[in-house]
């Protein structure tokens, strides 16, 4: 009996590691930016290029920063969820249109509805690099002091919103 | 007959596409080529850095748009005279240690660096222990009377 014990233990250990490995998403690279101040930028607004948006203007409130693009398939998936969120009015949602053309982006918002208070235009993707963007959509939760509290890589789903983002936003708003 | 025509048409179309994309690809690495030192640095760094979009490729290998942007960013930093380390740090601040193909040695990467050696050591220790135990078992087991009789019987039969 005892001679089977060791192989069994090894087998179960390997199964354990593989089971955990299956659940990990290699695309979710922990961002070094969480806990750091949101990188500054000053970008033209999508709806009005004369005006600009900067995170500096949003200090003192908790806000969500969603990086999106009209060419991005997964953005279509999360869009209705963002629209519903913006209607609920729990947290201000700002967007950044990443490597896109103004015309495509505006058309996209007309079709799917515009959940953003305003969107910045990052046409050449420079600000995206500062934010470590590598897979659109990405969503950042930024606190009152302008520090990134959380980064969601990939689409915001109902579950992520309910279990992670909204509780965090509530906690940060109470601070 | 019609089918052959159609196939030929498709084939010609593919050839044309191929020629076109090759032409487009050939123009890609042109900018700032005049500065050989900068280009060498860009090449060296982009072979050290991971493309986060297609994670098993270096920035040098990847055709992802982000990789092209990052190569351009590196090229500009190199042209400004930034050192390799400064450029790598710039990217690590934004994308984390994961962009580096050679992860740094620090507490969170100890397992990564020494895990395989620890496993090897555990394996060797286990093997030695097992072999010792087996050798001892073989030496320590004297024959019972029955077994001794059987052995001599068999030996006698042989001779």
Q: Which residues of A touch B55 (CB under 8 A)?
A: 26-27
Cα–Cα dist A97/A119, whole Å: 6
Cα–Cα dist A119/A124, whole Å: 15
Please state which of the ranges A100-109, B25-34, B122-131 shows the lowest mean pLDDT. B25-34
Query: In this predicted model, which residue has the larger pLDDT, B1 or A51?
Result: A51
Domains and CATH numbers, chain A: 32-174 (3.40.30.10)
Task: Please report the sign of the dihedral spanned by the C-alpha atoms of residue B50, residue A73, residue A136, residue B73.
Answer: positive
Reported confidence tier of residue B29, pLDDT bands at 50, 70, 90: low
User: What is the arithmetic mean of pLDDT over B49-53?
Assistant: 87
Q: What is the mean pLDDT of chain B?
A: 81
Q: How many CB atoms lie within 10 A of CB B64?
A: 16
- B47: Cβ–Cβ under 8 A, 6 or more apart, which residues? B58, B59, B60
| Predicted local distance difference test score (pLDDT) of residue B36 | 86
Among A108, A130, A137, CA closest to A38? A130
- Minimal-distance CA residue of chain A relative to B96: A32
| Predicted local distance difference test score (pLDDT) of residue A97 | 94
Please write the tens of the pLDDT for every residue from B101-117.
888 888 888 888 999 99
| Predicted local distance difference test score (pLDDT) of residue B122 | 95
**Is pLDDT at B27 greater than 50 in this prediction?**
no
Q: Which residues of A touch B65 (CB under 8 A)?
A: 99, 125
The DSSP 8-state label assigned to residue B142 in this structure reads P
Chain-chain contact of A29 with B95 (C-beta, under 8 angstroms): yes
Q: Which residues of chain A have pLDDT under 70?
A: 1
For domain B31-104, the CATH superfamily is Cytochrome C biogenesis protein (1.10.8.640)
Show me where the domains of chain B are located.
31-104, 110-158
- Minimal-distance CA residue of chain A relative to B53: A134
**Which of 26-85 (A) contact B at CB < 8 A?**
26-27, 29-33
| Predicted local distance difference test score (pLDDT) of residue A151 | 93
| Predicted local distance difference test score (pLDDT) of residue A168 | 95
% of chain B with per-residue pLDDT over 70: 77
Contact A56, A147 (CB under 8 A): no
B92 touches chain A (CB under 8 A): yes
Count chain A–chain B contacts defined by CB atoms under 8 A: 38
**Is pLDDT at B123 greater than 70 in this prediction?**
yes
- Minimal-distance CA residue of chain A relative to B72: A126
B73 touches chain A (CB under 8 A): yes
Q: How many CB atoms lie within 10 A of CB B109?
A: 13
Query: In this predicted model, which residue has the larger pLDDT, A10 or B3?
Result: A10
Among B18, B8, B52, CA closest to A129? B52
Reduce the DSSP state of residue B83 to 3 states and report it: coil
* Residues pairing with B126 in the sheet: none
Give phi and psi for A63, each to the nearest 5: -145, 160
Chain-chain contact of B98 with A131 (C-beta, under 8 angstroms): no
Residue corresponding to tokens 């992670």: A164
Q: Determine the straight-line distance between the first and last CA of chain B, rounded to whole angstroms.
A: 86
B49 touches chain A (CB under 8 A): no
Please write the tens of the pLDDT for every residue from A83-116.
999 999 899 999 999 999 999 999 999 999 999 9
| Predicted local distance difference test score (pLDDT) of residue B56 | 82
Q: Which residues of A touch B77 (CB under 8 A)?
A: none
ipTM of the complex: 0.77
| Predicted local distance difference test score (pLDDT) of residue A4 | 86
A129 touches chain B (CB under 8 A): yes
Q: Which residues of B touch A135 (CB under 8 A)?
A: 52-53
User: What is the arithmetic mean of pLDDT over B54-66?
Assistant: 86
Contact A115, A86 (CB under 8 A): yes
**Is pLDDT at B19 greater than 60 in this prediction?**
no
Give phi and psi for A67, each to the nearest 5: -95, 125
- Minimal-distance CA residue of chain B relative to A32: B96
Q: What is the β-pairing status of strands A138-142 and A63-68?
A: antiparallel
Question: Which of A129, A151, A154 best tests the B interface by mutation, with the highest count of B CBs <10 A?
Answer: A129
């Amino acid at each position: 009996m005892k001679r089977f014990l060791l192989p069994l233990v090894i087998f179960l250990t390997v199964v354990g590691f593989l089971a955990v490995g299956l659940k990990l998403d290699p695309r979710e690279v922990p961002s070094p930016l969480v806990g750091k101040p949101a990188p500054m930028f000053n970008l033209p607004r999508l709806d009005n290029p004369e005006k600009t948006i900067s995170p500096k203007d949003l200090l003192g409130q908790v806000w969500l920063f969603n990086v999106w693009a009209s060419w991005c398939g997964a953005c279509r998936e999360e869009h209705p969820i963002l629209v519903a969120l913006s209607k609920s009015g729990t947290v201000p949602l700002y967007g950044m249109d990443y490597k896109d053309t103004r015309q495509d982006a505006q058309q996209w918002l007309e079709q799917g509805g515009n959940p953003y208070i305003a969107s910045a235009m990052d046409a050449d993707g420079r600000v995206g690099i500062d934010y470590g963007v590598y897979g659109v959509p990405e969503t950042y939760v930024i606190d009152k002091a302008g520090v990134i509290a959380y980064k969601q890589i990939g689409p915001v789903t109902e579950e992520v919103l309910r279990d992670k983002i909204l509780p965090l936003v509530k906690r940060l708003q109470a601070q | 007959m019609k089918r052959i025509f159609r196939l030929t048409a498709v084939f010609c179309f593919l050839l044309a596409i191929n020629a076109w994309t090759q032409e487009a690809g050939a123009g890609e690495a042109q900018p700032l080529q005049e500065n050989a030192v900068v280009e060498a640095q860009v090449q060296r760094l982009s072979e050290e850095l991971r493309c986060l979009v297609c994670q098993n490729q270096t920035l040098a290998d990847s055709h992802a748009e982000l990789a092209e942007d990052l190569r351009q960013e590196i090229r500009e930093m190199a042209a400004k005279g930034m050192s390799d380390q400064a450029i790598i740090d710039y990217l690590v601040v934004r994308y984390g240690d994961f962009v580096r193909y050679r992860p740094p040695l620090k507490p969170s990467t100890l397992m990564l660096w020494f895990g395989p050696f620890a496993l090897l050591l555990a394996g060797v220790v286990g093997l030695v222990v097992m072999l010792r135990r087996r050798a001892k078992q073989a030496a320590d087991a004297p024959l019972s009377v029955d077994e001794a009789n059987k052995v001599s019987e068999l030996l006698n039969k042989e001779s």
